[in-house]
Amino acid sequence: MKLVSYLANNGEHLGLFVENTIYNLPENAGLIGKQLPDSMAAFLNGGTDAMKIAHEVNTGIINKSIKGIAANVNSDALLAPVPHPTSCRDGYAFRQHVEAARRNRKVPMITEFDQNPIFYFTNHNAVQGPGDIVCMPDHFQKLDFELEVSIVIGKKGRNVKAADADSYIAGYMIMNDMSARTLQMEEMALNLGPAKGKDFSTVIGPWLVTPDELEQYKVPAKPGHVGNAYDLSMTCKVNGKVVSQGNMKEMDWTFAEIIERCAYGVDILPGDVIGSGTVGTGCFLELNGTGLLNDPNYKVQWLQPNDVVEMDVKGLGHLSNTIKKDNSDFSILALKKFSETTA
């Protein structure tokens, strides 16, 4: 089942995406005498009962036992599937990406990667779906994409064990963790962040795919790890050219293990979004570093105004965004203070 949030009549609505058509979920639930809320947040808080009704409606539309009422909108109306997450975390699950990034900086692989499935919090108020990504001038100082997969939590939990954690996942989405590398590196030099380098746009979409749709792609987790893993090819194109290719099955830390760490001593809530971290080759930072390591004359690439970023993940859909420049010329990099010794 594919769940969407969409814009119509100046409001946000909850829908099903079936055979390239959007169906308003509560309207079609009414056809079988059931009630559902018209927002993703309220729906997720409805837990398994709401999800069961949605599956019933989805199945009925597919097998024609329900004469579904299509919403008078197209895919241009799609928002982020979870437009108002209760929180947004991002993980660090792909060894290939971490190894390559550290090799490119000529530092050894960090042993702590194999000890803990770490994550950080990003700005849940900057989550968006398909469409334009509006960036400030400083964001264009080494503006980057990050090809990822994300999940949304479907029920409240605390101190959840990895062996049980997959049952807390309501669904999966593509994620593009937009990154302003100059801002990010200035923060990281102070051992703090990511913050301003990451807080302006996190893209998820185009729809939320429930776990049952991915059963056919399930593979064993990597040795020594616990939780579901999936063989889902991942691709990113910029202006029609393939720049990144990976696979979700290469996650070393599973989402179940990441959830276990997230939920230690705190509540995880319906609507919490958690990203996988960048797949190997999944950003220009890594690709540029590898290119320069192999060829000093390698031409580095960063995102520019009007670039089109397209991400495809098997089973999860196609996510497209266009990079736009904000009209403001305000710069926080220009406010940087210099001491007499560095001026």
Worst-scoring range by mean pLDDT, 29-33, 56-60, 83-87, 104-108?
104-108
Q: What angle do CA 205, 96, 235 make, to 5 degrees?
A: 35
Locate 147 and state its tokens. 């090809």
**Averaged pLDDT, 28-39:** 98
CATH fold label, 87-328: Fumarylacetoacetate hydrolase; domain 2 (3.90.850)
The partner residues of 185 in beta bridges, in order of sequence, read none
Banded model confidence at residue 339, pLDDT cuts 50, 70, 90: low
pLDDT score at 135: 98
pLDDT tens, position by position, 135-146 = 999 999 999 999
**Averaged pLDDT, 318-326:** 98
Residues of the chain with CATH 3.90.850.10: 87-328
Q: Does residue 307 register a pLDDT over 70?
A: yes
Select from 122, 212, 129, 117 the least CA-distant residue to 172.
212
CA 205, CA 174: separation in Å to the nearest integer?
Answer: 5
pLDDT score at 340: 56
Q: How many CB atoms lie within 10 A of CB 62?
A: 14
Banded model confidence at residue 281, pLDDT cuts 50, 70, 90: very high
Banded model confidence at residue 222, pLDDT cuts 50, 70, 90: very high
Average pLDDT of every residue of the chain: 96
- Please say whether the beta carbons of 119 and 301 come within 8 A: no
pLDDT tens, position by position, 234-264 = 999 999 999 999 999 999 999 999 999 999 9
pLDDT tens, position by position, 151-182 = 999 999 999 999 999 999 999 999 999 999 99
Banded model confidence at residue 75, pLDDT cuts 50, 70, 90: confident
Q: Does residue 270 register a pLDDT over 90?
A: yes
Banded model confidence at residue 43, pLDDT cuts 50, 70, 90: very high
Q: How many CB atoms lie within 10 A of CB 70?
A: 14
Q: Does residue 343 register a pLDDT over 60?
A: no
Percent pLDDT > 70 in the chain is 99
**Averaged pLDDT, 27-38:** 98
CA 82, CA 85: separation in Å to the nearest integer?
Answer: 6
What Å distances lie between residue 106 and 89, 99, 100, 290, 292, CA to CA?
Answer: 28, 10, 10, 11, 12
Banded model confidence at residue 338, pLDDT cuts 50, 70, 90: confident
Q: Does residue 342 register a pLDDT over 80?
A: no
